[in-house]
Every structure is written in structure tokens, then in C-alpha cells.
Amino acid sequence: MEPLAQNPQASPVNQRRKWTTKEDVVLISAWLNTSKDAIVSTDQKAGAFWKRIVDYVNGSPQLSGAVPREWSQCKQRWGRINEQVCKFVGCYEAAVREQASGQNENDVMKAAHDIFLNELGIKFSLEHCWRELRFDQKWKSLAVPKEGPKEKRKEVVAEEEAADVRPPGVKACKAAKRKRQGYDEIHSMLAVKKEIQQQKLLERLLAKDPTHLTASEITLMEKLISEMI
């Protein structure tokens, strides 16, 4: 297969052109639609994969009048989006686990941004991308913020206060339940970590020259794509 050709007239200025929010959204849509196409995703090589994506992006009515992107620009931008969104998913889950009583979704988001900044030393500027991907299986957070009516929260507080005067047997049951919930959280975290590792492995395979892939690498790539669909 011939490698995808870059536009020889594309200037360095165009290549460094900043991505807009609208372009990011269209790129994400292109990647999701192409990667989930059962026929295309399992049969095509890496070059054809990104050729379809760049055609989708440049042909989108939402970007009418915009300067066309090169496939290498789309690939590089997607790599950054995927990497940072995956890291933010972990920060968001940590914020949910630390959510205090009375805090809402806005409080959780602020905490997630603070965790991201503290751990990586940079601000998370791709929240619009996370919102596009957050409900997809590969980026879906297993933790859910506590959001409920005030009456429900009052019931929970009253129940916790009443626990102090309950028999020891009831407290023991509650402790065992919390322990089981802890095991469930660990299992969920491991599952997310496994998905991220598989995603990174697939990206490395897609980044290789298709003509240099071994038969075992092609089989592995097809298996990974099939599992993610």
C-alpha cells in the first residue's frame, strides 16, 4: 500500500495552526465512526484508516470554509486528545471517590481539574473532548457523582447519625459492605487500566508502517479493534 501523501503546498504556518473546539469535535466523531465500522476497522491498514478520518474531517459541513487538515495533523491531534482524556478520566474518578456530602457535579469537575493540574503540572484544556467521549465504553467513568434531592441527602445523614446507637451486629454488617465496595472499586480501576493499555497497544500498531507489520501483529491489531467495538 502506498503511504498517504502530504499536500506539498501545505505551509509550516498551516501545519502549526491551532485546533478549534469545532475541529476537535469533528475529529472525535470521525475517529469513533471509523473505528466502530466493523467492516472497515478490521480490514483496512493504518494508512487507509487515517485517510478515511481526514476525508471525514475535511468533508464535514461543520468545517465548511476551513483550511483542510493533513492526515498526519489529525493523527497527532487525536494522539494528544486520547492521552489527556484518558488521564483526566482517572482524575475524575478520584474526584468522585473524594466527593463530600453536599457537593454537586460542578464541585467534582473542579476537583478533577485540580487533581490533573497537581499530578501533571498542566491545566486540562480538553474538557470539551472529554464530554464528547465520556459515555463511550473506552473512556466511560465507572464512578458516578452523588446527585440527589435534598430530602434524600437528609435521610442519608440521619441514617449515619442513627448508626451510632445501633447494635454492634449492624455496624459489623455495614463495615463488611464497605469492604466489598472497596474490592469492587479496585476491580473497576484494574479494568479501566487494562482498557487503557490495550488502547495504547493498538495505537502503536496503527502508527507502524502497514507494510512492516508481521502476521501476528496484524492478527493482534484486528483482535484489539474487535474487542473495542
Residue 90 C-alpha from the chain's centroid: 9
The pLDDT score that the predictor gives to residue 156 is 45
Give tens-digit pLDDT for 93-121. Answer: 999 999 888 889 999 999 999 999 999 99
> What is d(CA 145, CA 147) in angstroms, rounded to the nearest whole number?
6
Query: What size, in residues, is the chain?
Result: 229
DSSP summary character for residue 67: P
Letter for the amino acid at 79? G
pLDDT tens digits for range 62-73 = 999 899 999 999
The answer to whether the predicted template modeling score (pTM) of the entire model surpasses 0.95 is no
CA distance 10 to 15: 7
CB 103 within 8 A of CB 65: no
- Per-residue model confidence as pLDDT tens digits over 16-55: 789 999 999 999 999 999 887 655 554 557 778 899 999 9
Identify which has the larger pLDDT, 4 or 212: 212
In the three-class reduction of DSSP (H, G, I as helix; E, B as strand; rest coil), residue 113 is classed as helix
Determine contact, residues 85/77, Cβ cutoff 8 Å.
no
pLDDT greater than 70 at residue 4: no
Give CA–CA dist 25/62, Å, rounded: 10
Q: Rounded to whole angstroms, how far apart are CA atoms 3 and 45?
A: 10
